[in-house]
């Protein structure tokens, strides 16, 4: 783990709560929506960071959750949060079922300084996503494009079915334009007719094939359910990628997929 | 931390499972044990594992895995609070109290802080008086079984009264120091102290 210690004289910025306004809501997949939130005190984030969302009930009861930023720091004045609706969730169900255009949401951020990628860090980049773990990686891809980065790389994206692919069209476009970045899907449960891509959970053989053209000097970002992240990160190390070049972010309970 | 802002149409459906005196502000109770770490899980074979205390002590000491197992251990039942908002109540651990370890090394009077160091390069800083007096331990069992690697096994620090990033996984030792300095997450925007009851999540909280 590379440790980036505080620079001498660096004054940490205090993260204040601010009231954002919902300016756009887009249904991405049956279970995910993207909320575009306009911020009165927007500051540029680093791709991979998150914001905290705080909800307050009339009697003062509050609930907070962290959500990864999907938009690039080049998209000024607002952030996009892509959020999966969890059936037993308290905050995600509110955001999905209640929140509409023009509503206000309390936020603070950006937060997190390790699971980040900036164009100046270069590549080659290996991004590995499971389900809604794509969100912070999408911020990196959008930043790469907006910043005009030529860093080569590959995204390996595992979803249950084709319909569960978030940002499907945007990823498809990235694949079709010769930008030096390739998107590879694996559909673990249900494949459309004629699908000739991967159709299983990410395993050692798949990772070996995906990283082969990138070489051992890659920087890896892995985000998804705990079990997937654990397996992918540890397999990358056994494939010869130094542990300090594998950065992870996880969600969900132990063993949950 | 009172706020005049109200979220339109939000009532809060999980509050019933949260005894107010057990759950710090902004936290929710989960039955799961989520895993968070910044990189791959380190795996040190037990025959190459050691736990070391160094820095401002009279007798820097290193214990092998076998030595460590022979130290007096005890059971701890504690509530844990992660900065990512989940809390888990009544978790069961077995391990060695930091007091037991510090007795062996004889702490110099000018020592004020400890820096925990770990396999994988992780570090975290804690005031000395928050790991002594029965408040912290090095755990090698969780729920009656060996601590799994993804939860910090073979051994992790547990400092329940601070956010759980202070409870360093894969801990390999403590360095006693006089002047405080930030560890890994403390250098990356997280609070230097991390008291969940004061909601010290990030810099400036």
- pLDDT tens for each residue of A213-242: 999 899 999 999 989 999 999 999 999 999
ipTM score of complex: 0.88
DSSP 3-state of A147: coil
- Residue B56 placed within a domain: yes
- Residue B2 placed within a domain: no
**C-alpha dihedral, A175 to A177 to A181 to A182, nearest 10°:** 20
| Percent helix, percent strand, percent coil in chain A, to nearest 5 | 25, 35, 40
Per-residue pLDDT reduced to its tens digit, B31-47: 888 888 889 999 899 99
Per-residue pLDDT reduced to its tens digit, A68-86: 999 999 999 999 999 999 9
Which has the minimum average pLDDT: A36-50, A153-167, B30-44? B30-44
pLDDT band at residue A95 under the 50/70/90 scheme: very high
Beta-carbon contacts below 8 Å between A and B: 144
Output the six-digit token pair for B186.
């403390």
- Is residue A21 scored above 70 in pLDDT? yes
Domain that holds residue B164: 25-31+46-198
Query: In the prediction, which pLDDT does B30 show?
Result: 86
| pLDDT mean over A152-161 | 97
Per-residue pLDDT reduced to its tens digit, B104-139: 999 999 999 999 999 999 999 999 999 999 999 999
Query: In the prediction, which pLDDT does A3 show?
Result: 47
Per-residue pLDDT reduced to its tens digit, A171-188: 999 988 878 999 999 999
DSSP 3-state of A130: strand
| pLDDT mean over A240-255 | 80
CA distances to B5, B11, B15 from A98, rounded to whole Å, are 17, 11, 18
pTM of the entire predicted model: 0.92
B52 or A254, which is more confident: B52
State which residues of chain B have pLDDT below 50.
1-2
Closest residue on chain A to B11 (Cα): A57
Residue A214 per-residue DSSP state: G
Interface contact A66-B85, CB threshold 8 A: yes
Query: In the prediction, which pLDDT does A8 show?
Result: 42
Interface contact A66-B25, CB threshold 8 A: no
Domains in chain A, ordered, with CATH? 18-111 (2.40.30.10), 119-251 (3.40.50.80)
Interface contact B184-A1, CB threshold 8 A: yes
Residues of B (118-147) whose Cβ lies below 8 Å from A:
120-123
Query: In the prediction, which pLDDT does B167 show?
Result: 97
- Residue B194 placed within a domain: yes
Tell me the C-alpha distance between B86 and A28, whole Å: 27
Interface contact A14-B12, CB threshold 8 A: no
- Residue B178 placed within a domain: yes
Output the six-digit token pair for A26.
């887009």
CATH code (residue B105): 3.90.420.10
Residues of B (43-82) whose Cβ lies below 8 Å from A:
none
Closest residue on chain B to A243 (Cα): B40
Distance from CA of A224 to the nearest CA of B (A): 11
Query: In the prediction, which pLDDT does A176 show?
Result: 85
- Is residue A252 scored above 90 in pLDDT? no
- Is residue A32 scored above 90 in pLDDT? yes
Instruction: Say yes or no: B24 contacts chain A, CB-CB below 8 A.
Output: no
Q: Which of B33, B38, B81, B168 to mutate to test the interface with A (most CBs of A within 10 A)?
A: B38
Number of domains in chain B: 1
Query: In the prediction, which pLDDT does A256 show?
Result: 28
Tell me the C-alpha distance between B52 and B155, whole Å: 13
Instruction: Say yes or no: B39 contacts chain A, CB-CB below 8 A.
Output: yes
Distance from CA of B53 to the nearest CA of A (A): 21
């Amino acid at each position: 783990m590379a440790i980036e210690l505080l620079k001498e004289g660096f004054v940490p910025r205090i993260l204040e709560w601010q009231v954002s306004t919902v300016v756009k809501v887009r249904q991405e997949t049956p279970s995910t929506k993207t909320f575009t939130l306009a911020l009165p005190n927007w500051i540029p984030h680093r791709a991979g960071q998150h914001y905290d969302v705080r909800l307050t009930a009339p009697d003062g009861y509050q609930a907070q959750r962290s959500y990864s930023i999907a938009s690039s720091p080049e998209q000024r004045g607002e952030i996009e949060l892509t959020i999966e609706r969890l059936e037993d969730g308290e905050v995600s169900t509110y955001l999905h079922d209640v929140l509409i255009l023009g509503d206000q949401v309390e936020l603070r951020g950006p937060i997190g300084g390790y699971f980040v990628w900036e164009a100046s860090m270069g590549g080659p980049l290996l991004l590995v996503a499971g389900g809604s773990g794509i969100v912070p990686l999408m911020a990196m891809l959008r930043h790469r494009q907006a910043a005009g980065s030529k860093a080569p790389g590959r995204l390996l994206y595992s979803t249950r079915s084709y319909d569960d692919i978030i940002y499907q069209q945007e990823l498809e476009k990235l694949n079709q334009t010769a930008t030096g970045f390739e998107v590879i899907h694996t559909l673990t449960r249900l494949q459309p007719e004629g699908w000739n891509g991967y159709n299983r959970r990410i395993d050692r053989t798949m990772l070996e094939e995906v990283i082969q053209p990138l070489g051992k000097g890659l920087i890896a970002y892995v985000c998804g359910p705990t079990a997937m992240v654990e397996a992918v990160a540890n397999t990358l190390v056994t494939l010869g990628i130094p542990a300090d070049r594998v950065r992870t972010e996880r969600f969900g309970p132990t063993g949950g997929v | 931390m009172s706020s005049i802002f109200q979220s339109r149409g939000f009532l809060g459906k999980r509050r019933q499972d949260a005894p107010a005196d057990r759950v710090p502000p902004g936290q929710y109770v989960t039955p799961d044990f989520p895993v968070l770490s910044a990189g791959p899980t380190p795996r040190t074979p037990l025959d190459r594992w050691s736990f070391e205390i160094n820095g401002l002590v009279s007798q820097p000491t290193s214990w092998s895995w076998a030595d460590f197992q022979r130290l007096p251990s005890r059971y701890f039942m504690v509530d844990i609070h992660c900065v990512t908002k989940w809390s888990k109540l009544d978790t069961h651990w077995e391990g060695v109290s930091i007091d037991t370890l510090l007795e062996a090394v004889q702490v110099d009077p000018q020592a004020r802080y400890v820096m925990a160091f770990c396999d994988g390069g992780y570090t975290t800083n804690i005031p000395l008086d928050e790991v002594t007096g029965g408040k912290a331990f090095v755990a090698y069992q969780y729920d009656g079984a060996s601590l799994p690697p993804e939860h910090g096994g073979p051994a992790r620090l547990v400092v329940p009264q601070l956010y759980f990033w202070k409870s360093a996984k894969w801990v390999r030792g403590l360095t006693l120091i006089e002047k405080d300095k930030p560890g890994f997450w403390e250098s990356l925007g997280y609070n230097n102290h991390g008291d969940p009851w004061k909601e010290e999540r990030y810099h400036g909280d």
